[in-house]
Amino acid sequence: MQPMPDYSLSVSEQLKSLTVSGALQIDAAQIHVAKCLDRVLSGLKRRLPAAKASALGWLFANKKKPSEAVKGLYIHGSVGRGKTMLMDMFFAMAPCAKKRRAHFHEFMTDVHNRIAAHRLKLKQGKTKQADPIPIVAAALYDEAELLCFDEFTVTDIADAMILSRLFSELFRRGCLLVATSNVEPDNLYRDGLNRSLFLPFVDLLKQYVEIVTLDSPTDYRMEKLDSQPVYLTPINERTDMAMEASWTQALHGRKAQPLAIPMKGRSIHVPLAADRIARFSFADLCEKPLGPADFLAISKRFDAIFLEHVPLLGPDKRNQIKRFIILIDTLYDHGVRLYVSAAAMPENLLTHAGGTEDFEFHRTVSRLFEMRSAEYLALHHERRAAE
């Protein structure tokens, strides 16, 4: 049984104890963000008694005194600066009976599934409520009054078009949002289709969360790099043989064969799989019309993924680049071990500069490096052992 979190602690205190022990370096930028997270923790603790007296008491009180409402937090900064670590600390300490920590893509997949289910009920005559957003928002808030998103990013037009209405409903009910991102709010969905329709969400976000920058001078992910034979480059006969050898070793004599993962009336084709390992080419996953929900299903089904022949990514491959970014995000978030053969090292895969893809790809590069580290591989074993 997991020990209960000590709600009397603060993020600042835990960060300080780790620096005193030598587990972390003293980092002024992280300390500043920790204090901002402590403000949110204090606000959550202040509203606990009202929540016990009346489930809606604090909500009505906030309507009378908007200035007393607890504001969330939006932490943005470069990759590898410790945003996820601080979010982990905060989430463990948050004194909420109902809280949810999710990757943004995973959360939005859930939202779209709920919207689709409501529309089906409407079509079947099981509800008269034509607008699914209030119903979905109410259900989400009933499950979690605190939402924590790691790596908040908006690249999909379907997500962009509903975020303002969805979070208007969530914030109105009292939902608190804490998020990390590589992107400051004004750059969310940058260069996206019909971005003017998305901008009301940015204004809404600024109203309900404090914006803070984490500008640590050190990329801690790069410091963790402990080269493992799991990223092979360039693509040639030698690396193909090395990938084959790693695949054979992972099989341990088992026979690999194709399989299909059921997915809402269709299926995701897996070229080769054995138990909880699978082998794909870049074309299998990134040149087909797959999305976040498909990658999530793959990450939950397999512990290790072999991904072959990642090419150089030029401006003619914008859709493939977007899928590759989401794929790596999802595998990383679920601790999946990744073996890759690619045309170049991660930082050289993207052959053009500028635009949303270039901006988002910096995170992908960092994650591809970290997924080779001893720390990530150890975390992979811990996560999978716990499942």
Per-residue model confidence as pLDDT tens digits over 3-15? 444 556 799 998 8
How many other C-beta atoms lie within 10 A of the C-beta of residue 210? Answer: 14
Per-residue model confidence as pLDDT tens digits over 211-235? 999 987 665 654 543 334 689 999 9
Tokens of 37: 């997270």
**Beta strand 304-310 with 337-342: parallel, antiparallel or unpaired?**
parallel
Q: Give the Cα separation of 223 and 221 in Å (integer).
A: 5
Which CATH number is 224-386 given?
3.40.50
Q: What is the pLDDT of residue 180?
A: 93
Q: Give the Cα separation of 162 and 157 in Å (integer).
A: 9
CB contact set of 338 (below 8 Å; sequence gap of 6+): 230, 304, 305, 307, 328, 331, 368, 371
**What phi and psi, each to the nearest 5 degrees, are found at residue 238?**
-65, -50
Percent of the chain with pLDDT over 70: 85
Per-residue model confidence as pLDDT tens digits over 321-344? 999 999 999 999 888 989 999 999
Per-residue model confidence as pLDDT tens digits over 289-317? 999 999 999 998 998 899 999 999 998 99
CB contact set of 358 (below 8 Å; sequence gap of 6+): 350, 352
**Residue 1 above 50 pLDDT?**
no
Q: Give the Cα separation of 139 and 133 in Å (integer).
A: 10
**Residue 21 above 90 pLDDT?**
no
Through-space distance between the first and last CA atoms of the chain, rounded to whole angstroms: 14
Q: What is the pTM of this model?
A: 0.63
Give the pLDDT band of residue 262 (cuts 50, 70, 90): confident
**Residue 361 above 60 pLDDT?**
yes
CATH: 3.40.50.11540, 1.10.1380.10, 1.20.1250.20, 3.40.50.300. Which one for 11-213? 3.40.50.300
Q: What is the pLDDT of residue 364?
A: 93
- Higher-confidence residue of 35 and 253: namely 35
Which residue type is seen at 348?
N
Give the pLDDT band of residue 16 (cuts 50, 70, 90): confident
Helix (H, G, I), strand (E, B) or coil at 266: strand
Tokens of 100: 């949810």
What residue spans in the chain does CATH classification 3.40.50.300 cover? 11-213
Q: What is the pLDDT of residue 68?
A: 55
Our CA dihedral for 365, 82, 2, 4, rounded to 10 degrees, sits at -150
Q: Nearest CA to 189 among 114, 288, 104, 113?
A: 104
Give the pLDDT band of residue 287 (cuts 50, 70, 90): very high
**Residue 89 above 80 pLDDT?**
yes
Average pLDDT over residues 70-97: 88
DSSP string, 102-142: EEHHHHHHHHHHHHHHHHHHHHTTS-----HHHHHHHHHHH
Per-residue model confidence as pLDDT tens digits over 345-357? 999 999 986 666 7
Mean pLDDT, the chain, whole residue set: 85
Q: What is the pLDDT of residue 58?
A: 45
